[in-house]
Structure 1
């Protein structure tokens, strides 16, 4: 595996590979890699000639500075895992390579998708996500981009970004959420949970499964009310539990369309998110 830290060098190298007819796939991450990330790497490897992974904890997408400071950093282990997985190239830039002195901050017209759910509770978050993904795509210039379905709303935002930046030819591959054997969605933030909190965290996926089971039987407001009470009973501070149209993320009033259940809740300041298709 080749490690690049300078944007100009990785760009030059990848452009040379593309001229040789190589197809480039890209997996952007913030590190603290787990099997969910590695499943993206494996899918990317199976569909492309060259697999590129980036590790960059992007400061512009954290509206909570404490969350940014406490985000887990495990670079040595990440590099080891990437080598073992057969990743071809790692982009490991400092902030000055992603946001150089001449970088001009953009505003992305994302519409209502950036104001609801995650956008409502984390103002500015999706603008920061778009800033970094736009920059990374400019540097790497891949033919395919791989992201996990656990960040459901983020995937929708990135699809909008590709349209806004006229990158419709870039294939966005949204891969299934990877879960632990007990059902907990894999997340880098899980590293911040102690043993007891790890047990409590499992209740998020249990509540989603309850929502899936009852979507055909109970009114949507009642399902959400029960779900909130269940998590609060288990010590969570709930930001939202929503049942939304799977295409627009607008709150659903009936189950006549494909729906997705989405949860964001915190345990002792560790904020966890998860989602599940409910009726499709």
Structure 2
């Protein structure tokens, strides 16, 4: 596996592949890798000629500075995991490499519309602008054929789909199903910060989504979401939202529709904020 820390070095390496029309698969990450990330690499490995991964903890997408400071960093283990998954290239830039003008310098503002006003957008103001900024920079650099992201961050995937539309980039977004622990807990880098007791309680998010799915045809949306929210609060979670959305438009729903619907949860246990989602029909 090749490792590059500067944009110039990475660009020089990729130039030949781009000129030859090779399919480049790109997996952007913030490190603290787990099997969910490796599932993205494996998918890219099957579908593309070259697999590029990046590790960059992006400061502009953290609306809580404490969350940024405590984000787990496990570079040595991450490199070994990427090598074991047959990643071809790892891009490991510094903050100054990605933001030479500084993170507070004026930057492009993306019109993500409704997507940025609800759920994660409402609870994490500025987060998706930061995501858009760094993904745009990385896509400009790598110019991948396909971009691989996990379904766990469902709203973020919708944001990136909108980013590709705004920028006119020809990259195809591939969303890979959420990888889960044996008990159903969605794999997440933040799980590393959970105590054993918190981790045991955290399967309640997955159980709540399953409860919504199993009773979806029998109960109104408002009853289902309130029940799951109350259950989570009763065991110590601080709930941001339990919602159901249209999977295509991301409209938050009060009533069921004919199209595909997704249930989403965000809740905090101790200091750790977790998210999860599930297709309901």
Q: TM-score, normalised by structure 1?
A: 0.97
Aligned length: 278
Q: Distance in 2 between matches of 1:79 and 1:29?
A: 12
1:210-249 aligned within 5 A: 210-249=211-250
Is 1:138 the equivalent of 2:140?
yes
Secondary structure of the residue aligned to 1:273 is strand
Q: Distance in 2 between matches of 1:114 and 1:158?
A: 12
Q: Distance in 2 between matches of 1:208 and 1:193?
A: 20
**1:95 — aligned with what?**
95
Deviation of 1:21 (Å): 3.2
Is 1:252 the equivalent of 2:253?
yes
1:22-171 aligned within 5 A: 22-101=22-101, 105-167=107-169, 169-171=170-172
Aligned residues: CA RMSD: 1.1
Q: TM-score, normalised by structure 2?
A: 0.97
Superposed CA deviations along residues 132-184 of structure 1, whole A, max 9, x for unmatched, are 000011111111100000000000000000011111x2111001001111100
Secondary structure of the residue aligned to 2:149 is strand
Deviation of 1:253 (Å): 2.5
Q: Distance in 2 between matches of 1:2 and 1:277?
A: 37
- Aligned residues of 1:215 and 1:255 also touching (Cα < 8 A): no
Of stretches 131-140 and 254-263 in structure 1, the one that deviates more from structure 2 is 254-263
Q: Distance in 2 between matches of 1:73 and 1:186?
A: 16
Is 1:204 the equivalent of 2:205?
yes
- Aligned residues of 1:148 and 1:177 also touching (Cα < 8 A): yes
Q: Distance in 1 between matches of 2:71 and 2:269?
A: 15
Superposed CA deviations along residues 189-213 of structure 1, whole A, max 9, x for unmatched, are 0000010001000000000000001
**1:272 — aligned with what?**
274
Q: Distance in 1 between matches of 2:100 and 2:136?
A: 14
Deviation of 1:118 (Å): 0.1
Gaps of 5+ in 1: none
Q: Distance in 2 between matches of 1:16 and 1:104?
A: 33
Secondary structure of the residue aligned to 1:250 is coil
Q: Distance in 2 between matches of 1:85 and 1:245?
A: 34
Q: Distance in 2 between matches of 1:121 and 1:254?
A: 23
Secondary structure of the residue aligned to 2:265 is strand
**2:7 — aligned with what?**
7
**1:178 — aligned with what?**
179
